[in-house]
Amino acid sequence: MFKALIVDKDEAGATSASVQDISTDRLPEGNVTVAVDYSTVNYKDGLCLGSGGGLVRNYPHVPGIDFAGTVEASDDPRYSVGDKVVLTGWRVGEVHWGGYAQKARVNGDWLVPLPEGLSTRQSMAVGTAGFTAMLAILALEDHGLTPEKGEVLVTGAAGGVGSVATAILAHLGYQVAAVTGRPETEEYLRDLGATRIVAREEIAETVKRPLEAETWAGCVDAVGGAMLARVLGQMKYGASVAAVGLAGGAALPATVVPFLLRGVNLLGIDSVMQPYDNRLRAWQRVSTDLPMDKLEAMIQPATLSDLPTLGADILKGQVKGRVVVDVNA
């Protein structure tokens, strides 16, 4: 028997979540069983903890799109009992039972070895949000971004992706302009390394002009919507925006002018289906380029019983930094 957060849906379509003791024979199919140490809370988790957001197909369900822990049983030759592993993506926690439990059973193809120098707790402080931030930074670098090019904008900076992106970029020597709609997070963002705070209202609305002054050498955008449209018109010639989220909406009320007259690049970042080699590259860079003291400052500890409330909070934009869920507490 082990503890898991079970989300169920009644005949009327209402969902409820509760911590239950369940048997290992209820675990889904997979060739690797992991004793989970930690999980975390992402926007998708908030959806899966509530209505399902169209992501969950079958109930009862165990959410949790990330987890880290120790291999307990394995039919995959790449993993042995006792190995430390990390999982993000692959629709685990959505269509496949996830990490909000003391045990998880998954396909070995979905796992990566825990990077040297990272603990399972630290890896979940990173989680999908931090992994996505690193993928975004790698994409910007691959398209020519270097510190001497100028300021890098991070939107939604106090959230999970934004927090990690700010800390990594600052550590790499970039000047980071952090966008936030929460004035109380200014000190937090400056502690992560932001050199400028940009109020959300300064950049949240579209303007009639398709181009404004060339301001940003790069951007990690977690907001989308009107803010992304505005940012595209403020990018320097040849600069790139890595789009990682849609907290501000999925529509993009923009023109093609920034692409045609300034050679701006809009780079889509997906973390769910990333190939194995890209995952290893990103996790290795996380282990070397994310200052662990900054990571620690982002952590909000939680237990399985805290998750329903935290899921609702993250959907309202009320979670700062990274939640680390100790599933054994």
- What are the residue ranges spanned by the domains of the chain? 2-114+296-326, 127-268
Does 251 or 206 have the greater pLDDT score?
251
> Mean per-residue pLDDT for 67-73?
98
pLDDT at 247: 86
> Mean per-residue pLDDT for 268-297?
95
Using one digit for the tens of pLDDT, what is the confidence trace for 293-327? 999 999 999 999 999 999 999 988 889 889 999 99
Instruction: Give CA–CA dist 112/184, Å, rounded.
Output: 37
> Is there a contact between 257 and 211 (Cβ–Cβ < 8 Å)?
yes
What region does 150 belong to: left with phi over 0, alpha with psi -120 to 50, or beta? left
Using one digit for the tens of pLDDT, what is the confidence trace for 81-137? 999 999 999 999 999 999 999 999 999 999 999 999 999 999 999 999 999 999 999
Instruction: Give CA–CA dist 319/292, Å, rounded.
Output: 20
The percentage of the chain sitting over the pLDDT mark of 90, rounded to a whole number, equals: 90
Using one digit for the tens of pLDDT, what is the confidence trace for 204-227? 877 889 999 999 999 999 999 999
> Mean per-residue pLDDT for 148-177?
96
pLDDT at 188: 94
The candidate with the shortest Cα–Cα distance to 40, out of 18, 16, 69, is 69
pLDDT band with cut points at 50, 70 and 90 for residue 53: confident
Residue 52 has pLDDT above 80, yes or no: no
Residue 3 has pLDDT above 90, yes or no: yes
pLDDT band with cut points at 50, 70 and 90 for residue 13: confident
Instruction: Give CA–CA dist 64/101, Å, rounded.
Output: 8
pLDDT at 208: 84
pLDDT at 102: 98
Arch. (CATH architecture) of 127-268: 3-Layer(aba) Sandwich (3.40)
pLDDT at 12: 87
* Mean pLDDT, the chain, integer: 95
pLDDT at 241: 98
> Is there a contact between 13 and 295 (Cβ–Cβ < 8 Å)?
no
Using one digit for the tens of pLDDT, what is the confidence trace for 164-196? 999 999 999 999 999 999 999 999 999 999 999
Q: 282 φ, ψ to 5°?
A: -65, -45
**Which CATH superfamily, name and number, covers 2-114+296-326?**
Medium-chain alcohol dehydrogenases, catalytic domain (3.90.180.10)
pLDDT at 108: 96
pLDDT at 293: 93
